[in-house]
Structure 1
Amino acid sequence: MKKLSSISLAAVLAVLAAPAFADELNVVCSNEQDWCDLMASNFEAATGIDVAMVRKSTGETLAQVRAEAGNPKIDVWWGGTGDPHLIAAAEDLTEASGADTSALLPWAVNIAEISSGKTIGIHAGALGIAYNADVLAEKGLKAPACWKDLADPAYKGEIQVANPNSSGTAYTELATLTQLFGEDEAFKLLAEIGANVNQYTKSGSAPSKAAARGETTISIGFMHDMVNLRKSGFPLEIVAPCEGTGYEVGGVSVIKGAKNPDAAKKWVDFVLTAEAQQAGLQVGVYNVPSNSGATLDPDSPDLSSIKLIDYDFATYGASDTRERLLARWDAEVKGAGGAVEE
């Protein structure tokens, strides 16, 4: 991705020129907590609208949105992988915000087009493998380079990954391997990797944090989260799997029947600006922003140099596909080893 220079506050000010329509907004955030808090604070400062924010994983949020259909407690859902956002859109649980997407990169606009404007891409990130170099050396293990390497019995008890029922990150892994290898071969591989997994976490970023601390040797997650940990001084090495890898396009969605719909749409307009997106660098957010004018950190993953699959968001963002794959994961992978659940 081309790294572009910083822009002025003009774009944000233009978005916020109109007076606020409400003085409160209820947001569920599926990004990292620091990024959730910063965006809420910046939005409040810019608009005067008070934000009540809760952080939840994408799977948890989708379940809540479904449960509250017709009487939602959430106004807007920001962040997390795009697949659950697309499912919510297909189930008519969200509504189009009418936001201007002209400044966004093509992959962000694609998500909006698939969902008829009900969700819009806010960032992208590639899936990868991380390992703690110190722990790996102490145990005399070979560094993994490919997805299939993770099935090596030498890694028994050394791998941590999230549960795809709660984590969009882990569902992206499940969908990625299915697209790479075909469904039956993918589940065979997932079960073999599962035999080496020590814990299935609720959050997609938790495994790499554990690897950074030396609590596990290897993790699966998004590369931008791994970059943040490495820049913080942890001995993490980041691997783009040799066979190729999938990627996420994080989404933002206005909940259908929201109590504060105008404020929710104002949130969408705000989070799509370059200034709002690049503020994430202040708290270690190294994914690729969707606004073409946003500044990238030099250490952010370069998507153009990674072997990315042609990820099929329409298929793997469909509720029937997701439910079938998750049911099969529960039956064939979850109990494949001695992994505990968070």
Structure 2
Amino acid sequence: MQRYTPLFLIAFVFSLVLLAGNTYLTGYADQTGAKTNKSITVYTTLPVEHVAILAEAYEKSHHVKVNFVPLTKEDLLSRIKTESTVPTGKTDLVLADKETLLQSAATHVFSPYESEQTDIISDKFKDQNGDWVGVWYDPIIFCANKDYLLTLPVIPNTWDALVALPNVRIGITDFFAADASANLLFTLIAEYDENKVFTFLNKLHPKVVQYSKYLSTPVRMAGMGEVDISIAVQSETIRYMNEGFPLTIIYPTDGTAYKLTGVGILKNAPQKAAAEQFMKWLTEDDVQFVLQQNKFFFVPTNQSTVAYKLFNGKNLTLFDNYSDLTLQQKQAVMDRWVKNIRLK
């Protein structure tokens, strides 16, 4: 049987690689009495707990205060469109999910930026005109209970193989409950077609023990043996594995969805040079070290980083097609799922 070993101990190994350098820089800053004398403003759709960690770490290492403004996608798009009409704005960057970045770029609010770091990043993770670049992503994987896998003659490493398992108990986050889960549904439709996806979901439904409210719940259930395999985000799975839960990651060989986070500099950014430095930092190893220290485990898009080189899922197949469904079309898909599958 082929087993897939994930990022599991990367946080520990990665910390050994970077600890000396980070300790030295901190000590040097204290000795010189360096003070924060610059600030940048970043609109973001990321959770507050994520950006608070980034702001603290960047100010400590670069002495630049990062003022994050958490917004919904709709509010963010409205603000940058309104503020783009003045020569010098009050916001420097946007740090957000791919959908928000695509819609922002369509209004021509970004200033193209390229560097040695962004050049290394695969074209699938960045805008072709340089308007924005992806910095990390979180793939959907199969999170399997180790004891359950021992009972199987073959590891289920495709979507069809998963639903074909007899008597399997499956966990998944409700498509209405989290963006990452909804993104899986819409990406599957973009990759295949709606009817084929609903045929798959019909086969999946009788095996689902619970449509959870949180991304972490299916992972915990697999770790506790309450389900056999969960369809889950990798970041939560690694967090639970590092806490000792008996889990194994299986990467679907026929492809999977992923949630991409990226960044773009606004055309009228008041602190463009400082914004470029922050963008550069987001593509480097230090930011991954900070995230992993705080139990956030994402895959960096920059393949030259230590974090990526330690990632065992380098052959992970990601779906190429991106969902371009309108808000109304997405709602129609959700309504169809609820009516024909969820409430059956």
The alignment covers a number of residue pairs equal to 308
Aligned to 1:130: 143
Aligned to 1:25: 41
Q: Which amino acid aligns with 2:261?
A: G
CA distance 1:47–1:307, change in 2 (3 Å):
closer
Higher alpha-carbon Rg? 2
Contact 2:235–2:298 (CA under 8 A) maintained in structure 1:
yes
Aligned to 2:5: none
Aligned to 2:30: none
Q: Please list, as runs of the form range in 1=range in 2, the aligned pairs for 1:57-76 lying within 5 A after superposition.
A: 61-68=72-79, 69-70=81-82, 76=93
Please report how far the alpha carbon of residue 230 of structure 1 lies from its aligned counterpart in structure 2 after TM superposition: 1.3
Indicate which of 177, 192, 196 corresponds to 1:185: 196
CA distances 1:29-86 after superposition (whole Å, capped 9, x unpaired):
62794x534322121113333334477xxxx732331354426997544354x23422
Distance 2:220 2:270 in 1: 36
Aligned to 1:272: 283
Contact 2:189–2:197 (CA under 8 A) maintained in structure 1:
yes
* 1:245 has 2:256 as partner: yes
Indicate which of 270, 286, 289 corresponds to 2:300: 289
CA distance 1:146–1:110, change in 2 (3 Å):
closer
CA distances 1:127-181 after superposition (whole Å, capped 9, x unpaired):
21113346x58x99x975432355468457x4222526851x2244224423543
Aligned to 1:118: 131
CA distances 1:103-135 after superposition (whole Å, capped 9, x unpaired):
236554544333x3332111244321113346x
Aligned to 1:15: none
* 1:230 has 2:264 as partner: no
Helix, strand or coil at the partner of 2:126: helix
TM-score, normalization: structure 1? 0.68
CA distance 1:243–1:273, change in 2 (3 Å):
closer
Please report how far the alpha carbon of residue 273 of structure 1 lies from its aligned counterpart in structure 2 after TM superposition: 3.1
What are the ranges of 5 or more consecutive residues in structure 2 without an aligned counterpart? 1-9, 26-34, 85-89
Aligned to 1:88: 104
Contact 2:94–2:263 (CA under 8 A) maintained in structure 1:
yes
Q: Please list, as runs of the form range in 1=range in 2, the aligned pairs for 1:156-235 lying within 5 A after superposition.
A: 158-163=170-175, 166-167=178-179, 169-194=180-205, 196-197=207-208, 198-201=210-213, 204=215, 207-209=218-220, 211-212=222-223, 217-235=228-246
Contact 2:40–2:91 (CA under 8 A) maintained in structure 1:
no
CA distance 1:106–1:31, change in 2 (3 Å):
farther
Contact 1:159–1:219 (CA under 8 A) maintained in structure 2:
yes
CA distance 1:23–1:181, change in 2 (3 Å):
closer
- Give the share of equivalent positions with the same residue, in percent: 18
* 1:148 has 2:164 as partner: no
What are the ranges of 5 or more consecutive residues in structure 1 without an aligned counterpart? 13-18
Contact 1:164–1:326 (CA under 8 A) maintained in structure 2:
no
TM-score, normalization: structure 2? 0.68
Distance 2:91 2:206 in 1: 38
Please report how far the alpha carbon of residue 302 of structure 1 lies from its aligned counterpart in structure 2 after TM superposition: 1.9
Which segment is superposed worse, 98-107 or 256-265? 256-265
What is the Cα-based RMSD across aligned positions, in Å?
4.4
Please report how far the alpha carbon of residue 185 of structure 1 lies from its aligned counterpart in structure 2 after TM superposition: 0.4
Contact 1:123–1:289 (CA under 8 A) maintained in structure 2:
yes
Contact 2:174–2:181 (CA under 8 A) maintained in structure 1:
yes
Distance 1:75 1:209 in 2: 39
Contact 1:123–1:251 (CA under 8 A) maintained in structure 2:
yes
Helix, strand or coil at the partner of 1:199: strand
Distance 1:232 1:193 in 2: 29
Q: Please list, as runs of the form range in 1=range in 2, the aligned pairs for 1:1-40 lying within 5 A after superposition.
A: 22-23=38-39, 25-28=41-44, 30=46, 33=49, 35-40=50-55
Q: Which amino acid aligns with 2:116?
A: S
Distance 2:83 2:220 in 1: 36
Aligned to 2:342: 337
Please report how far the alpha carbon of residue 233 of structure 1 lies from its aligned counterpart in structure 2 after TM superposition: 0.9
Please report how far the alpha carbon of residue 298 of structure 1 lies from its aligned counterpart in structure 2 after TM superposition: 7.2
